[in-house]
Amino acid sequence: MQKVSIDDLDNHPRVADVQKHAADPLSLSDMALNYYELEPGESFSGGMHTHMDQEEVFYVLEGTATFETPDGTHEVGADEVVRFAPGEYQEGRNESDDRLRALAMGAPRGMGETRAKVPCAECGADYHETTVDESGVTLTCPDCGNVVEP
């Protein structure tokens, strides 16, 4: 058994001010587990995206998350859970006036191929493949190879 306190996890703010990863401290091999605290206006990811090989589940602990999908906008409140299948586009954010606390789980652990729903300025393709590393996010059009660094 392994146990860790959320308070003891290192903070890795990328889009949200509080974003903590529990996968390494718990030695998770088959899933990702992230804790978020979103202030009003903050997002889990920073844009509409999908993971082609990973399903994502969000459990809202406190507040209300608003998820935008190609089908519309959906609210998920405290003690509610939402699942996005591989290939299903979504962006979750805090559109309320209150803090949002949530857990995000992904399986398998690796994000795999990730796509952002951002039209290509060169060829008009509907999405870009994304690469996330220490230097930030890079978007590459799979149709023409155009690279965009947001």
How does pLDDT run across 27-76, given as a tens digit for each residue? 999 999 999 999 999 999 988 889 989 999 999 999 999 999 999 999 99
Whether residue 130 sits in one domain with residue 94 = no
What the block records as the tokens of 118 is 């951002």
pLDDT band (50, 70, 90) for residue 77: very high
Whether residue 59 sits in one domain with residue 27 = yes
Q: 58 in a domain, yes or no?
A: yes
Q: 24 in a domain, yes or no?
A: yes
- The residue among 56, 52, 87 whose CA lies nearest residue 70 is 87
What was the pLDDT predicted at 135?
67
What confidence tens digit (pLDDT) does each residue in 91-139 have? 999 999 999 999 999 999 887 778 887 788 888 887 777 776 666 678 8
- 14 vs 85: CA distance, rounded Å: 23
Q: 34 in a domain, yes or no?
A: yes
pLDDT band (50, 70, 90) for residue 150: low
What the block records as the tokens of 51 is 């993971």
Whether residue 122 sits in one domain with residue 68 = no
Phi/psi of residue 6, each to 5°?
-55, -40
Q: Could you tell me if 25 and 4 are in contact, meaning their C-beta atoms sit under 8 angstroms apart?
A: yes
Phi/psi of residue 122, each to 5°?
-85, -50
Phi/psi of residue 89, each to 5°?
-75, 140
What sign results for the dihedral spanned by CA atoms 102, 107, 110, 111?
Answer: negative
Q: Whole domain around residue 94: which residue ranges? A: 12-111
Whether residue 147 sits in one domain with residue 92 = no
Any idea what the CATH number is for the domain that residue 60 is in?
Answer: 2.60.120.10
SS3 label, residue 4? coil
Structural domains counted in the chain: 2
- 15 vs 27: CA distance, rounded Å: 24
- 51 vs 88: CA distance, rounded Å: 8
Whether residue 107 sits in one domain with residue 134 = no
Average pLDDT rounded to a whole number, residues 5-29? 94
